[in-house]
Amino acid sequence: MPRHSSQRRAFISLVTVGLLSLGLAGCKRAVKFQGNDIGGTHLGHDMAMVDSTGTLRTLADYKGKVLVVYFGYTHCPDVCPTAMAELAQTMKLLKDDARKVQVIMITVDPQRDTGAIMASYVKAFNPSFVGLTGSPDQLRKTAQSFKVYYAKAPGGTPDTYAMDHSAFFYILDQTGEARVLLDGNAQAKVIASDIRQLL
């Protein structure tokens, strides 16, 4: 009788462990983004731009953090500052989790946006933000990697041109894989919600 009891207990233990395993697998958090799910696209893998110290930066430099990448330029009259303000508000909404996130603005106007100018511009929104610039060739390759459109729009004088560009927030996970694409006019609460799915 004791022998059967010990076998029964062992069997119940095995079944319990099996059910717990299944339960845990079944409880795996389903990721549902408010933005467009772009997992598997590998967008941004060829990012290679320069920071304010002149150091070349790639996705590998930011592994371990969720990245939010935005393409814009410092002379942008309204769209870019509005987008950066939303990102600044996003960081406030994330509270302590903000330290696990890196916001990067890549200029589409390297002719005017030096590393120092970019750093000054983005840090006015949040001290942790990073601004990247580079050569026209570096920008071309990086923009192609993200499928970003940009083009110079002539102004009244050679120095007063504008830049037409696509405006999106690219959210990449902690391994550097592109996961979410949000419209550039997305609100901070939406951006924060999708970031939290990756933390």
pLDDT in tens, 36-80: 999 999 999 999 999 999 999 999 999 999 999 999 999 999 999
The H or E element containing residue 192 is: helix 188-196
The whole-angstrom separation of Cα 196 and Cα 199 is 5
170 and 98, same structural domain? yes
Q: Please indicate, yes or no, whether residues 12 and 42 belong to a single structural domain of this protein.
A: no
Q: Do 107 and 175 lie in a common domain? A: yes
By residue range, what is the domain housing residue 1? 1-30
Domain check: are 59 and 109 in the same one? yes
Same-domain check for residues 22 and 69 = no
Which of 146, 170, 139 minimizes the C-alpha distance to 68?
Answer: 170
If asked whether residues 5 and 56 sit together in one domain, one would say: no
**C-alpha dist (Å) from residue 166 to 15, 112, 146, 161:** 55, 19, 11, 17
Same domain for 106 and 70, yes or no, is yes
What is the pLDDT, as a whole number, of residue 4?
47
Average pLDDT over residues 7-29: 45
* DSSP 8-state symbol, 65: S
What is the domain-level CATH number for residue 154? Answer: 3.40.30.10
Cβ 172 vs Cβ 194: under 8 Å: no
Q: How many domains does the chain fold into? A: 2
- Per-residue pLDDT tens for 122-133? 999 999 999 999
Closest CA to 67 of 177, 161, 166, 163: 177
Which of 25-39, 63-77, 146-160, 174-188 comes out lowest in average pLDDT? 25-39
Binding residues for Cu cation: 76, 80, 165
Instruction: Give the pLDDT band (50/70/90) at residue 16.
Output: very low
**82 and 24, same structural domain?**
no
Alpha carbon dihedral 54, 49, 181, 194, in 10-degree steps, equals: -30
- Same domain, yes or no: 14 and 105: no
Say yes or no: 71 and 135 in one domain: yes
Q: In what order do the strands lie in the sheet with 101-107?
A: 36-37, 178-183, 168-172, 66-72, 101-107, 130-132
Summarize pLDDT for 157-180 with one digit per residue, the tens.
Answer: 888 899 999 999 999 999 999 999
- Rounded Cα distance between 46 and 80, Å, is 23
- Do residue 1 and residue 84 come from a single domain? no
pLDDT recorded at residue 156: 83
Query: Is 127 in the same domain as 85?
Result: yes
